[in-house]
Amino acid sequence: MSYAQVQSYVFLPKYILDYVVGDDKPRIDPDLFITKANPSQIVEVIVAFYPHLQLTENACHDHELLLKIFIEMVAPCLSNLVSSFDREKNYVQALFEAPIYTPSQSTRWVNSAADIDTKRIGDFEAYVLQNFKNGNYRLAAKQSNLQFLRKYKFLKKEEIEEIMHVETEANEALHEILHLVQDSHELIESIQLRLHQPKLSQIECEDFEEHLRSANTSLKSRQVMFNTAVQNVGFINAFIKHHKDILVKHQLNPST
């Protein structure tokens, strides 16, 4: 089963140390970096934080686009890093002040500003994807209606694909719980077969009955988990289908 990760650090190139300011509490100054760094360095730092972004050669030479991505997506993260700033290494392992949520994301190709809406990406991750990744599926649907869709009207293809990653994880969780339920049934049947063996002593019978009660209790708990997992998968599937239908309608009639 694949899991989204909680990220507590990021690896940055050593030249980032040239932009450290402050003696009492050293920090990386994003403004200083963006005024002095060359385009390839800006790209390298962007990708360090957002490895799923694939910038084309055209994007890498589009200074305005690089500034937009850096200022809106990277600078807030960069200014909140803490590090020992060890100059003996050729990289910097900088810690976030608090762990951040890093959902697994599909590759996003960026060729021009039209390919990336940093505000929309941030809103999608905050109001939709993060709740889905945390297992708060119905809250994600509610937040998407109240906060995201009221503004953006529909989910894009790549946004739906992100939620499909969640669907895959939910299906994997369902199969794991199914195996647990199956194991419980197998254990119960095994105990019952032993209880029907001839010439069991009273102590042996009492021991098997105690194991049977325990196994039945475990089964009930696992069945609740299984029912919840089934409902979750059904809900996510319905959510994806619903928004695929909305996207198709938008593509057929963009003015609506």
- Does residue 122 share a domain with residue 75? no
Alpha-helix runs per DSSP H in the chain? 30-36, 39-49, 57-60, 63-69, 75-78, 118-124, 130-133, 137-143, 149-152, 157-195, 202-252
Query: Which structure tokens are listed for 124?
Result: 């999608």
Query: Considering its fold, how many domains does the chain have in total?
Result: 2
- Does residue 70 share a domain with residue 106? yes
Q: How far apart are the first and last CA of the chain?
A: 40
Fill in the amino acid letter for 244: K
State residue 96's pLDDT score.
46
Say how far apart CA 79 and CA 74 lie, in whole Å: 9
pLDDT tens digit string along 89-126?
A: 544 555 444 444 444 556 666 777 767 788 888 888 88
- Does residue 217 share a domain with residue 198? yes
State residue 233's pLDDT score.
96
User: Taking the mean position of all CA atoms in its chain, how far away is CA 197?
Assistant: 51
- Kindly give, in sequence order, each residue whose CB lies less than 8 Å from that of residue 117, ignoring residues fewer than 6 positions away: none
Cross-strand partners of 108: 53
- Does residue 171 share a domain with residue 108? no
pTM: 0.66
pLDDT tens digit string along 203-240?
A: 999 999 999 999 999 999 999 999 999 999 999 999 99
> Using 50, 70 and 90 to split pLDDT, how confident is the model at 81?
confident
Structural domain of 51: 5-115
> Among 21-30, 59-68, 245-254, which is the least confidently predicted range?
21-30
- Kindly give, in sequence order, each residue whose CB lies less than 8 Å from that of residue 125, ignoring residues fewer than 6 positions away: 103
- Does residue 126 share a domain with residue 98? no
Task: Report the chain's mean pLDDT, rounded to a whole number.
Answer: 84
DSSP annotation of 92: E
